[in-house]
Structure 1
Amino acid sequence: MFEHLDYLTLQQYWWFLIGLLGALFVFMTFVQGGQTLLWTLGRNEGQRDLIVNALGRKWELTFTSLVMFGGALFAAFPLFYATSFGGAYYVWMAILFCFIIQAVAYEYRKKPNNLFGEKTYEWFLFINGLLGIILIGIALGTLFTGGNFVVDEMHLSHWTRPTYGLEAVLNFFNVAFGFMLFFIARLLAAMFFIKTIDDEEIVSRARTVLKYETWIFLILFVYVTAAILTMKGYGYDPHTGAVSLVAGKFLRNFLAMPVVAGLFLLGAVLFLWGIFADLFFGSENGIFPAGVGIVLVVLSLFLILGYNDTAYYPSLADPQSSLTIQNSSGSRYTLVAMSYVSLMVPFVLGYIVVVWRAMTRGKMNVQEVENDPHHY
């Protein structure tokens, strides 16, 4: 089946899969968003335990989606993996550290006689939710703004700045993208708590978070969207591979792919509908349309980055070193073999759905957490 597809179609197929997995990961970052709301929503130890345990039943699913995303990226587009992870490694090491301390926190927060005390591990969770998500957003922002790298004829890359990726935090768009992702995570978390927690005080405070932070998200979202639609991007000649700067490249991509533009608009509407349903109509199910919406928005952003002859990772040091889905992918043989493996993705996603349902059969309350000998 897959061996009959041409090389470019295989590359586009894998970019779509990576975009979908990346979008699912962004949805699952409600776990990190919830961690930053721990002290906002939980005013006593019992409420904080309830919040941590509601998130603790989901945090491993975030890791599952992250591992799938990273593994697919490594298999399908190894040059990007080597260029970004091997060049901008200060940023990625900081992200890795944030996720390591998250795992440690869930493991040891409630262990008797733990070395640092419960409060320290709660700070670990907060750091993971704040810095971890903002840094991931900044890293994703560089797909639009570019990185300081050079790729030679042997497909060996090296970074041209001694800051090795940390210079990305000096770009306002990247930072705005990171904070937008941060507030998306917090809004999704608030809706998740409304759906899954049986505590009137926590649910009331979660609705207050939606009331005020939706406006912050909207300001960031409008800015990021306007910046993307007006910024210059890098296109390339699919025959020669020559890269050139194109005014309004991403707007051109939306116009050239109206289905993708429709997905973006539909996703934005669904995300806002989920918020408004929980906030103004007394719903408890806003997390579902909002979750689908954010997946569609992020997926459409990945598609305008990689499709329509676009360099999805521009090089600021040498534009001709910019990465495209054609010059950074694995071999045709690799893509064909991995395409058969990709048929397992629906089963993995099905596993996530089954586990989600098994862990969220009813609303959690403080008594349930106190009676659970294995609580976080």
Structure 2
Amino acid sequence: MFDYETIRLIWWLFIGVVAIAFALTEGFDFGVCTLLPLLGKSDVERRVIINTVGATWEGNQVWLVLLGGAIFAIWPAVYATLFSGLYVAMLLVLFSLFFRPAGFDYRGKIENPVWRNAWDWGLFIGGTLPPVLLGVLIGNLLLGLPFHLDQDLRAFYDGSFWDLLSPFALLCGVVGLLATTFHGALFLKWRTEGVIHNRARTAVAVLGPLLLVSLAMAMSWMLTAVDRPEITHMAGTSAASNPLNKTVVAAGAGWLSHFLAEPWMLLAPMLGFAGLVLAWLLGKGRSTAGAFLMSSLGIAGVLLTVGFGLFPFLLISTTDPRSSLTLWDASASHATLLLGFWITVVFLPIVLLYTRWVYKVIWGSVTEAGVLKDSHTLY
């Protein structure tokens, strides 16, 4: 049904959608956990905060599993390069995520302030460290990674973990943390009442300007000072995958010219800033659902900016530009992409319908009276 070029592009779009879904759903989970010990002043208040995401955090985390699985199946060279070269960083993300199921499940087992406070800070780590590290990862995707491919297409990482911690990448990590915390504060404001609602609104008012300023700095830095290579020759968008069968040259700080070449792509950063500004303005007031929707649109716009900016690159190599991986030369076979497409067409709507049903069933404000009344099924 679809030729090789078309199905490659479809999968690029699909994996982008999964990445956005992960950022929006797991993003407010992370933000709520970051805010847990900061906005919750008592055990009951912290139980209220935890139970705003208590019924959905596991389901939201499935988007991360789906994202990793899709990259493994569709872009195996990208998966191999990332998960071998960035092994330490990936393990740090994984280990920090371990605090989440343990914290949610064990916190309420013992009614001891020291025990519960320890798990609260464990949840804080599990909500704070992953967005920082994932933000650093996005920063390094934009800067490029030091790797090369040999003639057998084996990937060799030429850097170290500490090389990932450049000033620009760290700034992207700050943006990632502020984005999830801001998103989580809006979610808390939507799902709580009383003192937690008011504290969340205050957090939104404080975090909004910090996020917008850091995001403006990162985008300005990317557009004016970060080098972007250009492909001068490649086998073709329907050719068999061979990343070395192309010519790539350094083009200096070419991100701005890349966007100006296709002006419609500028809609992505415009959506990012407009959505986050509106989320901040609405979030400071009485709006709940509207502010959260604007935050979701803003975060989606930021990720679309990254995707459009990289296109057609998936991984940029700084040590051997020819080894850079693109969606045209780093994908699995045509048959694999088609099989994965039909599996997705069948099962993804089921997942979405089930997710919609879950949120419909559990939706409503989480109150102190509610968590005090139900100490058996609630966290």
Q: TM-score, normalised by structure 2?
A: 0.90
Kept in 2, the 8 Å contact 1:20–1:295? The answer is no
Which of 219, 226, 229 matches 2:220?
226
Deviation at 1:365, TM superposition (A): 0.3
Which of 125, 128, 137 matches 1:127?
125
**SS of equivalent to 1:242:** strand
Q: Cα deviation per residue 1:280-309 (whole Å; 9 max; x = unaligned)?
A: 4x21221122213312331332132123xx
Which of 181, 186, 189 matches 1:194?
189
Kept in 1, the 8 Å contact 2:186–2:288? The answer is yes
For 1:260 and 1:61, the matched residues in 2 are separated by: 32
Deviation at 1:179, TM superposition (A): 0.9
Which of 278, 284, 288 matches 1:273?
278
Q: Cα deviation per residue 1:17-50 (whole Å; 9 max; x = unaligned)?
A: 1111111111121111111111221111110111
For 2:164 and 2:34, the matched residues in 1 are separated by: 23
2:23 alignment counterpart: 26
2:206 alignment counterpart: 212
2:177 alignment counterpart: 182
How many residue pairs match? The answer is 364
Kept in 1, the 8 Å contact 2:51–2:378? The answer is yes
2:164 alignment counterpart: 168
Q: Supply the AA of the counterpart residue of 2:208.
A: T
Which of 237, 251, 258 matches 1:253?
258
Q: Cα deviation per residue 1:260-282 (whole Å; 9 max; x = unaligned)?
A: 321331232123212211214x2
What percent identity do the matched residue pairs reach? 28
Q: Supply the AA of the counterpart residue of 2:60.
A: T
For 1:85 and 1:245, the matched residues in 2 are separated by: 26
Q: Supply the AA of the counterpart residue of 1:222.
A: A
Deviation at 1:113, TM superposition (A): 7.4
Which of 10, 15, 19 matches 2:12?
15
Kept in 2, the 8 Å contact 1:21–1:65? The answer is yes
Inter-CA distance 108–292: structure 2 relative to 1 (3 Å threshold):
same
For 2:234 and 2:349, the matched residues in 1 are separated by: 32
2:241 alignment counterpart: none
Q: TM-score, normalised by structure 1?
A: 0.91
Kept in 2, the 8 Å contact 1:23–1:296? The answer is no
Deviation at 1:57, TM superposition (A): 2.1
Moved more, 366-375 or 342-351: 342-351
Deviation at 1:105, TM superposition (A): 0.9
For 2:330 and 2:198, the matched residues in 1 are separated by: 49
For 1:268 and 1:353, the matched residues in 2 are separated by: 28
For 1:352 and 1:260, the matched residues in 2 are separated by: 31
**SS of equivalent to 1:150:** strand
Kept in 1, the 8 Å contact 2:78–2:314? The answer is no
Question: Any unmatched runs of 5+ in structure 2?
Answer: 236-244
